[in-house]
Structure formats: C-alpha cells, structure tokens
Structure 1
Amino acid sequence: MLSVAAGGLQADATDAWVLSGPGAMRDAQVGVDGVRVRVPHAGALSLPPVRVAAPDGGAVAFARLAVQGDAAGCVRLRFDAVDEAGQLLPAARVDGSCLPADGVVRPVALVAERPAGARELRPSLVVTGDAELRVQALRAAPARDARALLAEAVAAPLASLLDEVETRVRARMPAERAATGVDWPLVRARAWAAALGLGPRREEALPAVRAFMRALGDGHSGAAFVDPSGRFRDGAGEGLAQARPQAEILRQDGSAVLRLGLPPMLSLAGADAADYAGAIRAGLREAQRAGVCAVVLDLRGHTGGNMWPGLDGLAPLLGAGEVGAFRPGPPWVIGDEQARLVGAEAPAGVPAPAAWPVAVLIGPRTASSGEAVAIAFSGRGGSRFFGQRSRGLATSNAMIDMGEGLVLFLMTSRMVDRDGRAFPRGLQPDEAADDAAVLPAATAWLRSQGAPCSARAAPPG
C-alpha cells in the first residue's frame, strides 16, 4: 500500500520518492489505485540512486501510471549519471519517450547503460507542463535485477519465450563472445523493458525479441517471422512480395551497357530464389545477344536478405572459383556449371561475361547481403566501385528456428573478399559520386575500358 510519508511519497523502505521541481507539486492523494499527484508547472519524482560499478552494466526504472493534463507537456522517465566526485555527467543523461496524456494506466520502463566513470545512476519521473499523475508503482534497480523488477508486467508466455531466446542464442554464439563480449544483464533488461504492454501471443512478441537481438550490439542480429513458403511476413502476417531484379540496356554515343538493378531478396523460398537468379541471367543473355559486354550493377537499393540468389544469378560475371568467404566459415565458390550462361547466342567476338567490365554502384542503403554481392566483385579484374560508402553490415547471420514461424538471425562471422579483406565500416567506392552523378561516372568508365563489342551494341543507323 502506498502512503504519504515525511520527505515525500513511499511504497516501502526501498521505494522512497522525493517531490522536487521549480513548480510546487501539490495535492498528493492516496487511494487504492495509487498516489495522485498534481503538477501545476514542472518537477520530478526522484527515486533513490542506483549504484553501478563493474560488472554492473546499467540500471532499469519501472513505472505504472496514468497521465492527464496539458497535451503540450511531457511526462517521462529519466536517468542522470553521477561520477565518483558526485558531479552530474550531462552528456550521459537518458530520457524515455513522453507518455500519452490520456488517463490510461500503463507500464513503462527505461534502461540506461552505465557510462564510463559513473558511480551511480539517478532515476526520476520528470514532468513538464500541467499534469496530473496517478502513480501505482515507481521503482528502479540494477540491470541484473530487471526480471524481478518487471516480471509482474510481462505476460507469462512472453517471459518464457524471452528465456528460450536467450538460451538458444547463448548456445549458438561462439563461446568466447558469449563469455566476454556480451553484457547479458543489460541485454535482458532491454528485452524485458520492450516486452511491457505486449500481448501473450508469439506474433505479438516480435518487438521484445528484436530488442533482445539488437541489444547484442553487433548491429546486425535480428528476428523476423517467415511464412510456410519461406517469405518474410509483414506486420499483418502476410508474406512480403519479392521484387525482381531489373535489367535494361542503356545506349549512348554509339555504345551500350547493361544496367542491372538488384532489390533486397526478402525470401528463403526456393521458387523466389530461382526467379530472382533467373531474372539476372535473363538480363545477361539479352545483353550478350545484343552484343553488349559491359555492366552497371546497381546495388544502392539492395538492403539485405538472402545473398545466394544474387550470387547465383551473377555467377557468369563472377566466373568460376572462390569469390569471397565467411570468417570464420566456408568460402563462396562458383562452380564451372554455375558460371556458364546457358541459352545465349553471342555475336562473334563477344567475350564470355566473366571478361566484361563491371561498374558496381553502392551507397548507404547497400547492406548485409547487398554488401555480400558487392564483396564478390571486390578483387575481380575489370571491376570498379562508384557511389558512396556502404552501410557496414558485411557480416553473416546464422538462423535459429524458434518454431511457429519465428526465426532469429544471429551474427556469427564476417564477410571477406577473395583476397581476404574484411569491411567492418563498409565498402568504400573507388570513385565517390552522389546519386545524380554516379551513373554518368560509371558509364564513362565503362566506355573508357574500350569493350570490344561496344560498337556492335549500337542500334543500326
């Protein structure tokens, strides 16, 4: 039972709340549904500080409350950090989102990572504007105690799922990283905080599962639902339609190049993979029949997904052999049969696609498997990169099937090119250019390569 006590509001000996702020907080009333506090201007309900020291990774604050008042105001949880000398670290402040002023009681949590040099984290519920709060719970704890702090507000099936996710991830993660590279209490705290207010069904749990995977800190791990056909599902449960690669022949000044635009490959379905690779090969066959032997490979919109259909379709350009690898992990090998472009009738003198010059367009949206495709051309003779630095997610994810369509993607290795080079910050173009200038720059370079079939590719006059 909450009660009014000297020095502020308190629920028990550990949950003392102190009222403070430039505007006087007044009209504190106690009822069976919590403490009602009127805030006429601004102020804060401050909790006792949470002492944090290694190996404590941070702290979590929890509130269950309703807010009514000025729509222009804001009520939110906050953490301030204090150093060993008792001084605030302003740059380390962490603010939660403003809560809706709709009078609905809801749970909310905020997680703060311990910044370097911090002795304690000070949680508070900060109010700006004119608001009335109905507070049923307000407390904080170190991140290692997040489960106990938040358990009452997380549906039991979701709690069990998060436990299973942690067990499966820790079992699949390389032992050294699992032992020393992850702050598991902080990861757990972020997942449980994201679970507040979610329903008990697995389909409703995705935000919390994604919060867990994101908190691993590698920038690439994640989670998704996949339908029985192998397509990733949208929020409504429908399989996402898979866009097809686009191929067109660009003619200018008596020469021609093939432009191949590759979209993300958001499917694990065999039929979608075959269609994706087939569209690329169809474009290559069309170019070869037309006497075109130069390619602009546009990966600026390739944000990720399944890398293998793209490599399969582009195999005739890449040629047989090793074109990249996972570290740790196996190499990416193009076989002799895979590298053949079956069904093309090339004019005399047109070389095989593996000898064609390729201008690769990349940018900040080129990510994950889009970067894998780009890496396959790194170190290939007759290839040059144009555009802007890629996203920097050139890592490989292992898939963990959680059942009922839920799949985890856990980063387990990095991608390297055929010369063993990794790209932790993304691929840097050989020639920087913005979106308006990148295609002219690429086609100009291709013309400068003096492709032997460029004249044949021009339409008859």
Structure 2
Amino acid sequence: MLLPLLAAVSLIQQPSERFDAETRIRDAIAVVRPVAYRSRQVDWDALAEDMRHRAEGARDDIDMLPAWAALAAGLGDGHSFVQPTPDAIAAWRERYGDRPLMPDAPPRPRPGSPFMKRAEIEAHTLAVGPDHDAELITVPSVSGFGEKAIAYASRLFGAVANAGPRSCGYVLDLRGNTGGNVWPMLIGLSGLLGDGPQGRSEDADGRIEDYATLKEGSAVVLAEQGRGLTMMSIDEWRPIPSLAASPVALLLDDATASSGEGVAIAFAGRALTRSFGARTYGVASSNEGYPLADGANVVVTTAMMVDRNGRTYPDGIEPDQVIDGEGEDAVDAARAWLALQPACK
C-alpha cells in the first residue's frame, strides 16, 4: 500500500503546469499588430479582451483557435483569416463537432454570381462585325506555384496569342474569379499588359511597392525580400507587339475577388480598356501569412492593391459600365463597345 500512497502524494505535490493562454494572446498580437494594414484603426485593448473571453478555460492550443479567429476578424479588413493546421482542424472537430470557431460572428456576405464554379480557361469567338471577331476568354481562379499554375499560365497565354486572323480585340471574363495566385493570370495575360512592374501595393505607412515585374513570360521579384527571384516562367511565351494595342473589355461581378480583382486592377488605366458588369467583392488587398507558436497561421491583410494611377479599391471595383442583368447582357455590352473601336471597324 505504500507505493500507491507515495504516488498519490507526489501528484498532489507536483500539479501539472497550467496552460498559459494570456501569454499566447500577447505574443500573437505582437506578431500581427505591426503588420496589419488597418492596425491604427483597431482598438487593440478591446480586441485583446475579446480574445481572452474566447480563450477562457482553454486547456491547450486547440482551445485557442477561437481567439485566433477573433484576432483575424478584429482587424476589420474583411480579408484576414486564421488558417489552422490540418491536425488542429481534425482535433477541433473531434472535440467540438461542427461548431464554428466564432459562432456569434455574422457570416460574410456570399456572392450571388452563378460563375464561381468555373475552373477551366475557355476561349470562344464573338462576331463583332461583318469583318471582325473578338476573343471571349474565361479567366478562372488558380492557386499555387507548381505545375498546375504554370500550365494555367501557358493555356491562358495561348488563348490570347492564338486568336484568329479576324480578331480585333478581347473580352476577358473575370466573373466568378475568386482569386488565388495572381501571377499565373498576369503572365498568361502579359501580351495584353506588356512587360513591366505589376503587383503594386500600398502599406499602412503609405509606402508603394511593385512586387514583381513581367518579363518575357516570367514573373521576377522586385521586392527587397527575394529580389531577382523568378517566381514562374512559361516556355510557350513569344513576343506579339500588336497585342499591347488591342482593345480589351473586362467582365466583372460580385465574385471577382482578391487576385481576381488584382487582374482587373492591372488593366485599370490601360488605354483601350473598359469594364462591364457589377461591383467586385471588395478584397483587393495583399495578404501575408504569420505563423504563431502553436502552428496556426494568421493570414493578415498587410497592404492594398494599387493601380498604375495610384488608386486603391477598398470597397471593390465599380465597372465603367454597370450591367444590371447577368450572363449575355454583359457580353453583349462588351461586344457593342468593341464594335466602336477603330481596330474593329
């Protein structure tokens, strides 16, 4: 009987270490506060208190996930979010089922676009007049930097470059493009954009930076971190100088978001360019991931996208011509505009 008694006494005398949620909250704020784009507008004391409330009684890192979700939501930019590890998500579901991390948070508005499920680049010919056609190209979202993204950029460039001899302009359909990685999209459309700096953004201090430049089918980093690194290249690229003078119509809707908006911004201010449709979703901002000590990744909006004229779009991009209907109405409006362009007459 002596050994069990001694073991019991030992447990009483050496209690397990208490989980320190407060230190984790302070450390997370220290990571995010200096880089968040809207940091100056955040009531950090109130946000920290909300995080403490959501972490009350936390036993481990899994129970901290609501606090991290509150941190991202509290930044007020509508684009920041928490990205737990797959193991953490599985553990949360095992413990709490389908309960949301922030059950009291109002759901983000969902786009009403019928085009969000489009996944493939498609090219169709539109008759513009008796002697001319336009190329209608669907530009869907794409993610990552691997072979899939390179293949996407190659297909998109081919859709632009291989237009028929009657082609006088382009309709780029960005409806339903919810974002991902903007660089395969920009490389694929580089014939129309021309080589030069892209990915311009403005941070909270007003500093404007071009993240990378398009150069002969490649995206090369200009930013201080990674300067000179080639992010992505396509072998099929070839110079087609006439493309830079082609008229371009952009189709936008409420699901054109994030990097999809980034493509529209890349064309903003370009000569012979006009947009049609509905206001975009309104997350035309640059995000960066900041891992916390427990492995959760807080993806933070650090800057706003900037067009070639220095304009930002915090509330979305209002098209040059608003179209109330869906589907063919925007296409018809773009076709009518193209028919008036000198190249298509």
User: Which TM-score band (shorter chain)?
Assistant: 0.5 to 0.7
Mapping of 1:25-424 within 5 angstroms? 156=19, 161-173=24-36, 178=39, 180-195=40-55, 200=60, 202=62, 206-225=65-84, 244-252=119-127, 254=130, 255-265=132-142, 267-287=143-163, 291-323=166-198, 325-327=200-202, 328-331=207-210, 334-338=213-217, 343=236, 352-402=242-292, 406-424=296-314
Structure with higher strand content: 1
Structure 1 residues 271-293: Cα deviation after superposition (integer angstroms, max 9, x where no partner): 33313322211212332x55534
Letter in 1 for 2:151: D
Alignment pair present for 1:448 and 2:340: yes
Q: Distance in 2 between matches of 1:274 and 1:261?
A: 17
Preserved CA contact (<8 Å) 1:244 1:275: no
Select the structure of larger CA radius of gyration. Answer: 1
Query: TM-score, normalization: structure 1?
Result: 0.52
Preserved CA contact (<8 Å) 1:293 1:351: no
> Residue 332 of structure 1: CA displacement?
5.0
Higher relative contact order (CA 8 A, sep 6+): 2
Preserved CA contact (<8 Å) 2:287 2:299: yes
SS at match of 1:417: coil
Structure 1 residues 148-181: Cα deviation after superposition (integer angstroms, max 9, x where no partner): xxxxxxx94876654442221124347xx64x43
Gap regions ≥5 residues in structure 2 = 1-17, 94-116, 219-232
Letter in 2 for 1:337: E
What is aligned with 1:130?
none
Letter in 2 for 1:263: P
Q: 1:256 to 1:162 in 2, by over 3 A?
A: farther
> Residue 215 of structure 1: CA displacement?
0.8
Query: TM-score, normalization: structure 2?
Result: 0.68
Letter in 2 for 1:330: E
SS at match of 2:201: strand
Preserved CA contact (<8 Å) 2:154 2:234: no
Q: 1:430 to 1:316 in 2, by over 3 A?
A: same
Preserved CA contact (<8 Å) 2:73 2:80: yes
Q: Distance in 2 between matches of 1:353 and 1:431?
A: 23
Identical residues among aligned pairs (%):
34
Preserved CA contact (<8 Å) 2:136 2:171: yes
Q: Distance in 2 between matches of 1:414 and 1:188?
A: 25
Q: 1:220 to 1:293 in 2, by over 3 A?
A: same
CA RMSD of aligned residues (A): 3.6
Q: Distance in 2 between matches of 1:169 and 1:305?
A: 22
Q: Distance in 2 between matches of 1:305 and 1:294?
A: 26
Q: Distance in 1 between matches of 2:335 and 2:159?
A: 17
Preserved CA contact (<8 Å) 1:360 1:386: yes
Q: Distance in 2 between matches of 1:282 and 1:198?
A: 54
Letter in 1 for 2:201: F
What is aligned with 1:73?
none
Letter in 1 for 2:75: L
